Structure 1
Amino acid sequence: MRTNLSSQISLNRVSTRYYKPENTIERSVLTRFEKIPTNIYETVDEGVSCIADEIIRKVQERQRDGKFCTIAAGTGASLRPLFAELVRRHKEEGVSFRNVVVFNLYEYYPLTEPNNSSFNQLNELFLKQVDIDPQNVFTLNGTIPQEGVIDHCHLYEQRIKTYGGIDIAVMGIGREGNIGMNEPGSAATSQTRLILIDATSRSEAAHNLGVDNLPPCSITMGIGSIMEARKVFLLAWGEEKADIIKKAVEDKISDSLPASYLQMHQNATVCVDLPTAAHLTRIQRPWLVTSCEWNDKLIRSAIVWLCLLTKKPILKLTNKDYNENGLSELLALYGSAYNVNIKIFNDLQHTITGWPGGKPNADDTYRPERAKPFPKRVVVFSPHPDDDVISMGGTLRRLVQQGHEVHVAYETSGNIAVGDEEVVRFMHFINGFNQLFDENKNETIKNKYAEIKKFLLSKKEGDMDARDILTIKGLIRRGEARTASTYNQIPLERVHFLDLPFYETGRIEKNPISEADVNIVMNLLREVKPHQIYVAGDLADPHGTHRVCTDAVLAAIDEEKKAGAEWLKDCRIWMYRGAWAEWEIENIEMAVPLSPEELRAKRNSILKHQSQMESAPFLGNDERLFWQRSEDRNRGTASLYDSLGLACYEAMEAFVEYKPL
């Protein structure tokens, strides 16, 4: 069973010569905008294998010389695949790390719970699974008194010098461009010190550790100390890091982006997979650095970029615009700007449809969805109990109003995203209702109310909720989802709560996806036999739930494909975004326009999820509420279509088709 298919979603076919140049000259041409040597790999596995080769080569070189190999390592999510590969090499190939000295890059402060420490994670993921002598492992102490921190930091720096400095530093990059917990504002010469962690970094680190909260500070190896390492590897995997990698590699050096300091390092390498490299110039805008292997999507991307650069709609672009901006190849291919313009104009025009389920009795040659069968059976998969309306609430209403049989499947309970005050409010209502209308004066509800109030009063920050409280929180979200579905005229018998098991840990960190999760999804698909499936393509969700939920759906579809399911032969799968990102216009294959009234109705359906308004705990680093993000993105998509000279709408929801692998 393939449960990682989301990692293989490739929206654009990238020519291998853009990321695997044949020689040094070609590489220098392609990477002219890159100020740090950057290696792009097709997969994470390929990347970590190459990095492991280099690390082991250095370790064994030191072994032959009878010397220690000193490694500074962090514990971010990007390093986990590398640690797993090094452990595999040790266990299966007999690679020894007996001469390795390890320095932990950072530790949270003040630490009260050892399990929440950075060092504990490093130990679990790597150290105790290989033959490194524990006496050769050094970490910063997150429990020392505050008055001893400065001396402790000086001693740590001195110990690094005692071992001859750092041979290899291995680290990830945070969403704010922080490296080794060095936050924006860190000086290039900074040494090991105590710093305050910003909210975004704390949230990201807490997710990586699988805890709800972390201490506010970190004792951190400074930028200056990292820059003294003889080799630095900066690792990043996944599309959610594409923006920050582009800035670190191509923008100017700035203390607001600590990773950019590596541009001054003599031997630093950035290692990324293709999704992470997506915004580097040689991948996103290859015409600026080399001749291109043109395909429809790349041409569309180039023309949209040219329109935004020149502030012209598509049909007003001239030969001069193409020639002055590195796109003369397209003139040679198509003969004139007009020929390219009309091709892309028609291409984008054909993505627009007011009939997301297909228009009956219409010529569907140039429509994104087929006319038949009509009406269609539709399943909308929603990772949390509000992603359906946030991401495609307007399309959802259209499908219902146009007569399709629409089912909504809420994949997780979403219970950890409900605040405690919501539980108190609902329990207060239930207790009051019981006292007013229960003639038998049943004490069960009264006692449970008292028990929950007592628990919440004694609950400390970071404590896990009791199972009863999680159940109540799940019920609150179910009620909101039912209300929103009823508002959108979806019969409640077509509203499915899947409660996938992977989610039910009660903490931010979830269990790995399992066959049990996939089977639940598969059973629903076999029951409905849909003609259309909508699934989350919002893989930048910082907590990863969207990705796991999408993997469960894609794995179920994959299993049905292997089994030769008849229903799948007449089914299309559409991916939506909304809460965390929007599709780039070059990838959009269906754009559903919304009128002002439809956008208002969409907002109303989002607002039915009252627990996810101002008090929602997981808004990420975007301060806007979910309904505000949704409207801004939908209006932004419509505005982009308008600026390109296409139809002018109030808002648009965008979709990309997924074709089963």
Structure 2
Amino acid sequence: MNLHLTDNIELAPKFDGMLPDDTSLWTDRLVLSAVIWLSRKLDKPILKLTSRDYKDAGLELLTDYNGSAYDLNIKAFDALQHTITGWPGGKPGTGNFMRPARELPYPKRIIVFSPHPDDDVISMGGTIARLVKQGHEVHVAYETSGNIAVGDEEVTRFMHFINGFDQLFCKNTGSDNGSVISDMYLKVKEFLKNKKPGQPDSKDVLTIKGLIRRGEARTACSYNGIPLSRVHFLDLPFYESGTIEKLPMTEKDVNIVQELLREVRPHQIYVAADLADPHGTHRKCTDAVLAAVDEAKRNGESWLDDCRIWMYRGAWDEWAIEDIEMCVPMSPEELRQKRMAILKHSSQMESAPFLGNDERLFWQRAEDRNRATAALYESLGLTSYEAMEAFVRYKL
């Protein structure tokens, strides 16, 4: 099962300096892309572009078609301005005029689907904190256990702790748990001692690694004010191969997602679209969610009529600015809060096995990306923010 993500998201044609001769192909998105291209090429804010700038770039027909350089600049500037919102769940009492997210219903039930137990805060931690603060019922669904992305030293550290806990408390009280813990401690210790390079982990070690990531995810959610009753661990079966190479995504994965959607009946869904993930997990997780949504649509499930889906990107890539349909700004304090939530996932810092060729840690990648988005908006002449998180809407 492999869905075509771009069939339901409106991506702008990428302007390369030449306009089609056929003006019927000059869509609003192409025109916006052309104005952004010229603004960046000349390093001038959009509202400072002149008729001479357009003519020198061979784009005088674009200004003629839109009335004047002034009219064209205003049109492009307004289009970008209206993507910015501090109310990603909609602002009550203001109507829906030119806002990315509708006002009602309020508060909304929201599900953030996170492929791994940290993609939520890496990709949209600022938006999550904003949604919680603004009174929405935010659920986070961790689609996979993320167990293979935990280093062996983390297992050793946690096993030392629980064995020490056993020595100090369980055995002194005569609890039967003591022998279970001691036996498991010795079993895991022996396995890791004899583990060969590239050897898959045992089921027990994978379980412990999954528990480590669950604990970190719960801590990060609590930090953001999300009750643990709204934290869901889906453990999609396709991921549980124990190796980098994953199993095919099947109906079993889709059914698990369907059950959660029917339970929560969300008004907003946030889904990962960071398909640059080198191991393919994000693609399969996204396909599982969209397949579940398509099934709900075929079944005529009523909750879907009042639901909107937003796509985010994460540690590897960001949406092109002409594609962005909602951009949530962050203050320096909010960006710091996002960083702290990411740092709750301590197993994914320096010792994480899959940081890739990029030597920056995940919180550094996220901050650099969010600051770059804000800087790009600023360079085009819009309000200066510390950082911004970007989204594209998936059309049902």
Q: Which residue of 2 aligns with 1:552?
A: 288
Of 327, 333, 339, the match for 1:603: 339
Q: Which residue of 1 aligns with 2:121?
A: 389
- Distance between the aligned counterparts of 2:21 and 2:126, measured in 1? 41
Matches within 5 A, 1:190-209: none
Once the two structures are TM-superposed, the CA of residue 289 in structure 1 deviates from its matched residue by 7.0
Q: Does 1:469 align with 2:205?
A: yes
- Distance between the aligned counterparts of 2:356 and 2:240, measured in 1? 21
Contact 2:44–2:379, Cα closer than 8 Å, also in 1: yes
Tell me the TM-score normalised to structure 1 length. 0.58
Q: Which residue of 2 aligns with 1:247?
A: none
Q: Does 1:328 align with 2:60?
A: yes
Question: Of the two, which has the highest radius of gyration?
Answer: 1
Contact 1:418–1:612, Cα closer than 8 Å, also in 2: yes
Once the two structures are TM-superposed, the CA of residue 619 in structure 1 deviates from its matched residue by 1.5
Once the two structures are TM-superposed, the CA of residue 641 in structure 1 deviates from its matched residue by 0.8
Contact 1:400–1:490, Cα closer than 8 Å, also in 2: yes
Of 76, 81, 84, the match for 1:349: 81
Q: Which residue of 1 aligns with 2:358?
A: 622
- Distance between the aligned counterparts of 2:67 and 2:102, measured in 1? 33
Secondary structure in 1 aligned to 2:279?
A: coil
Q: Which residue of 1 aligns with 2:102?
A: 370
Q: Which residue of 1 aligns with 2:279?
A: 543
Deviations 1:331-357 (A, max 9, x none): 121121111100010111000100000
Of 443, 453, 456, the match for 2:179: 443
Deviations 1:316-375 (A, max 9, x none): 001111111132221121121111100010111000100000000103120001000000
Deviations 1:504-524 (A, max 9, x none): 000001011100000000110
Secondary structure in 2 aligned to 1:585?
A: coil
Q: Which residue of 2 aligns with 1:291?
A: 21
- Distance between the aligned counterparts of 1:317 and 1:13, measured in 2? 21
- Distance between the aligned counterparts of 1:335 and 1:609, measured in 2? 53
- Distance between the aligned counterparts of 1:657 and 1:403, measured in 2? 22
Q: Which residue of 2 aligns with 1:4?
A: 3
Matches within 5 A, 1:151-550: 284-288=14-18, 290-291=20-21, 293-438=25-170, 439-440=173-174, 442-550=178-286
State how many pairs are aligned. Answer: 390
Contact 2:268–2:308, Cα closer than 8 Å, also in 1: yes
Deviations 1:376-435 (A, max 9, x none): 000000000000000000000000010000000000000000000000000000000001
- Distance between the aligned counterparts of 2:280 and 2:7, measured in 1? 16
Tell me the TM-score normalised to structure 2 length. 0.96
Contact 1:5–1:554, Cα closer than 8 Å, also in 2: no
Secondary structure in 1 aligned to 2:271?
A: strand
Which structure 2 residue ranges, 5 or more long, are not aligned? Answer: none
Q: Which residue of 2 aligns with 1:566?
A: 302
- Distance between the aligned counterparts of 1:416 and 1:613, measured in 2? 14
Once the two structures are TM-superposed, the CA of residue 11 in structure 1 deviates from its matched residue by 3.6
Once the two structures are TM-superposed, the CA of residue 448 in structure 1 deviates from its matched residue by 1.1
- What amino acid sits opposite 2:174 in the alignment? N
Secondary structure in 1 aligned to 2:322?
A: helix
Contact 2:9–2:394, Cα closer than 8 Å, also in 1: no
- Distance between the aligned counterparts of 2:343 and 2:107, measured in 1? 29
Contact 1:5–1:555, Cα closer than 8 Å, also in 2: no
- Distance between the aligned counterparts of 2:11 and 2:225, measured in 1? 37
- What amino acid sits opposite 2:126 in the alignment? G
- What amino acid sits opposite 1:400 in the alignment? V
Q: Does 1:638 align with 2:374?
A: yes
Q: Which has the higher contact order (CA 8 A, sep 6+)?
A: 2
Once the two structures are TM-superposed, the CA of residue 10 in structure 1 deviates from its matched residue by 5.0
Once the two structures are TM-superposed, the CA of residue 580 in structure 1 deviates from its matched residue by 1.0
Contact 1:3–1:555, Cα closer than 8 Å, also in 2: no
Between the aligned residues of both structures, percent identity stands at: 67
Matches within 5 A, 1:645-660: 645-660=381-396
Deviations 1:233-288 (A, max 9, x none): xxxxxxxxxxxxxxxxxxxxxxxxxxxxxxxxxxxxxxxxxxxxxxxxxxx33443
Secondary structure in 2 aligned to 1:444?
A: helix
Deviations 1:32-67 (A, max 9, x none): xxxxxxxxxxxxxxxxxxxxxxxxxxxxxxxxxxxx
Of 316, 324, 330, the match for 1:594: 330
- What amino acid sits opposite 2:81 in the alignment? Q
Secondary structure in 2 aligned to 1:407?
A: strand
Secondary structure in 1 aligned to 2:232?
A: strand
Once the two structures are TM-superposed, the CA of residue 13 in structure 1 deviates from its matched residue by 6.2
Deviations 1:59-92 (A, max 9, x none): xxxxxxxxxxxxxxxxxxxxxxxxxxxxxxxxxx
- Distance between the aligned counterparts of 1:375 and 1:10, measured in 2? 26
- Distance between the aligned counterparts of 2:219 and 2:319, measured in 1? 29
- What amino acid sits opposite 2:103 in the alignment? A
Once the two structures are TM-superposed, the CA of residue 623 in structure 1 deviates from its matched residue by 1.6
- Distance between the aligned counterparts of 2:126 and 2:340, measured in 1? 11
- What amino acid sits opposite 1:363 in the alignment? G
